[in-house]
Amino acid sequence: MSAISVFNDAPTAPPKQETKILADFRRDTTPEKVYLAGREYITEDGQTSIFPLLWKIKQQIGSDPTLIPGYSPVLGLSELTKRVVELALGKDSTAIVENRVLGTQAVGCVGAVRLGAELLRRWCNNSASWCGPILLPSPCDDSLAETFEAAGLGDVCYYRYWDAKSLGVRVESVLRDLEEAPERSVVVLSASGHYPTGADLSVDDWKLVAEVMMKRRLFPFFLMSGQGLSKSFEKDAWPVRHCVSLGLEVMCAQSFGHTFGLYGEQVGHLLCVLKHNSLLLAVQSQLEKLVQTLWSSPPTGGARVVATVLSNPAHLVEWQEGVRGYVERCMLVREQLREKLRLLGCPGQWDHLTKQTGLYCCIGLSGQQVEFLGKGRHVYLLPNGCLNISAINGRNIDYVAESIHLAVTSL
C-alpha cells in the first residue's frame, strides 16, 4: 500500500487571532489573568449564562411528548421565521404585508452569511448586470471575507469604517468609499453593535448611507447578531427598516446566540426582502436547493426555544427585560471603566467608551500596548485594542483599569 496521502501537500492553516489569544490565556497560570477577547456575553460572576425563563422552556420542550423527533423542514421552523422577521422589520412592515419577505433558518450567523453569499453567487452567474464586488467594513470579523470567498465570491474589498484617531466611525470615508464603489456592489453593513469596535452609525449617518446605496444601486447585506443589545430592539433594527422603507432589496443575517444565551445551538436566520412578491417562489426554491447542499435541514432545539419565546407575549416581555438588563450592565461597566481611568489620571480622552454600544469596545490602544497588557499584565484582548466589555466585572475592573493606565503611560 502506498504511504502517500492525498493530503500530503496540505499546508497548516494559520490559527485565528482569537484562537491564539485564548490558547495563550489558558496557558497563563497567573491568578490575576483576565480574558477580554471572547464573544459570549459574560455575567457579573464571570460566567456565560442563560435566562431562567429559557432553561424552563428548554426543559418543557425536552419533556413534551407531542414533539416527535425528526428532521425540520429544509427552510427551518416556519414559526421561527415569522417571529424573527417581525422582530427585525416590525409587524406593520409594508414588505411583510405585501408578501415580499422570505426567511430561512440557518446554522448561526456565519451560516446565514454563507447561505446569502451562495444565493448571490448564483445571481452573479445568471445575471450579466451584476458584477460585484463584496465590500466589507474595515475592521470586521476575519471570517467574513473567508465566508464569501468560500462561496465563490473572491472579489472582496473593504471600505474604511473605523477611525483610530477619533476613536469612532469614519462617516465621511464610509460615504466616499460607497460613492466610488461599482454599481450593484454588495455592501456588508453592521446594523448595530459593530464587531469588533462597538461603534455604530447614527440615524443621520444611516440616512446618508441609504441615499448613496440607492444612488449607486448598491445591495445592502446587513449583519444583526445581537438585536436589542446595543440600544433597543427598535433602534437596533432601524437601519434595516429604513432601507426597506426606501424600497431597497436587502439581506440580513440574524443570530440569537447573544440575546438567548444559545451559543451552542447556532440559531441563525437569513432574511431576504425582495422588490416584488412575484420573485418569492423562485428565490425560495433556490434557497431550498442551497440548504440541501449545505446542511440539509437546520437543527430544531434552539430554534424551538426562540420561536416559543417570541410567540408568547408574557415570555416576550420577560425576555426583553432580561436583554435590557444586559444592556444596562454593559453601559454601567463602560461608565465605571471611564471613571476609573479618569481618577488614575490616564492620559487621553476616554469618552468614546460610553459612546460605543453593545458587547464590544475599542479602547484605542496600539499593538505594542496590547502586547504589554498580555505579556506584562496578563490581560488579553484583540491586537487592535478591542475587547468584550461584558467580561469586565466588579472583581477585575480595578486591575483592568490599572493595567490600561500602565500600558498608556509606560509606552
pLDDT at res. 50: 83
Beta strands 168-169 and 219-224, pairing class:
unpaired
Average pLDDT over residues 131-145: 90
Q: How far, in Å, CA of 362 to CA of 360, rounded?
A: 7
Q: Sort strands 219-224 and 250-255 into parallel, antiparallel or unpaired.
A: parallel
Classify domain 17-50+317-410 at the CATH topology level: Aspartate Aminotransferase, domain 1 (3.90.1150)
The residues, ordered by sequence, that sit 6+ positions from 9 with a Cβ below 8 Å of its Cβ are none
On average, the pLDDT of the chain sits at 93
Residue 255 to residues 160, 264, 317, Cα–Cα distance (Å): 25, 12, 19
Residue 71's pLDDT band, with cuts at 50, 70 and 90, is confident
65-69, 192-196, 217-221, 391-395 — which is least confidently predicted? 65-69
Q: What is the mean pLDDT of residues 52-62?
A: 89
- Residue 310: name the closest of 239, 252, 260 by CA: 260
Amino acid present at 201: L
Q: What are phi and psi of 231, to 5 degrees?
A: -120, -65
For a pLDDT cut of 90, what percent of the chain falls above it?
Answer: 84
Q: CA separation (Å) from 240 to 65, 271, 289?
A: 39, 11, 26
With beta carbons less than 8 A apart as the criterion, state whether 257 and 54 touch. no
Instruction: Provide the grid cell at 334.
Output: 463602560
Dist. CA 135–CA 212, nearest whole Å: 14
List the one residue out of 226, 214, 347, 269 whose CA is nearest residue 83.
269
Model confidence band, residue 126 (pLDDT cutoffs 50, 70, 90): low
With both helix axes pointing from N to C terminus, report the angle between 171-179 and 203-215 in degrees, rounded to the nearest 10: 10
Domain ranges (residues) in the chain: 17-50+317-410, 70-311
- Given pLDDT bands bounded at 50, 70 and 90, which one contains residue 37? very high
Rounded to an integer, what distance in angstroms lies between the CA atom of residue 183 and that of residue 187?
11
**CB 171 within 8 Å of CB 178:** no
Contact 319/48 with Cβ under 8 angstroms? no
Please name the helix (run of DSSP H) or strand (run of DSSP E) that holds residue 134, with its range, or none: strand 134-138
Instruction: Provide the pLDDT confidence category of residue 65 given band limits of 50, 70 and 90.
Output: confident
Q: Does the pLDDT at position 168 exceed 70?
A: yes
Other Cβ atoms within 10 Å of 69 Cβ, number: 5
- In Å, how far are 193, 363, 380 from 165, measured between CA atoms? 20, 11, 23
| C-alpha–C-alpha distance, residues 201 and 204, integer Å | 8
2 band by pLDDT with thresholds 50, 70 and 90: low
Give residue 1's pLDDT.
Answer: 60
Q: How far apart are CA 215 and CA 134, in angstroms?
A: 17
Rounded (5°) CA angle 13-252-131: 70
**Among the listed ranges 16-30, 91-105, 111-125, 318-332, which one has the minimum average pLDDT value?**
111-125
pLDDT, one tens digit per residue, over 335-375 is 999 999 999 999 988 999 999 999 999 999 999 999 999 99
DSSP string, 344-391: TT-SS--THHHHS-SSEEE----HHHHHHHHHHH-EE--TTSEEEGGG
Nearest to 46 by CA among 400, 402, 406, 403: 400
State the burial class of residue 341 (Cβ atoms within 10 Å of its Cβ: 0-12, 13-18, 19+): buried
Residues whose CB falls within 8 Å of the CB of residue 358, separated by 6 or more in sequence, listed in order: 192, 193, 194, 198, 200, 226, 229, 230, 330
The CATH number of 70-311 is: 3.40.640.10
Looking at the chain, the whole-number percentage of residues with pLDDT higher than 70 is 97
pLDDT classification of 131: cutoffs 50, 70, 90 = low
- To which residue does cell 415570555 refer? 315
Q: How far apart, in whole angstroms, are the C-alpha atoms of residue 376 and residue 127? A: 55
Average pLDDT of the segment spanning 106-130: 83
Positive or negative, the CA dihedral 241, 246, 247, 253 is negative
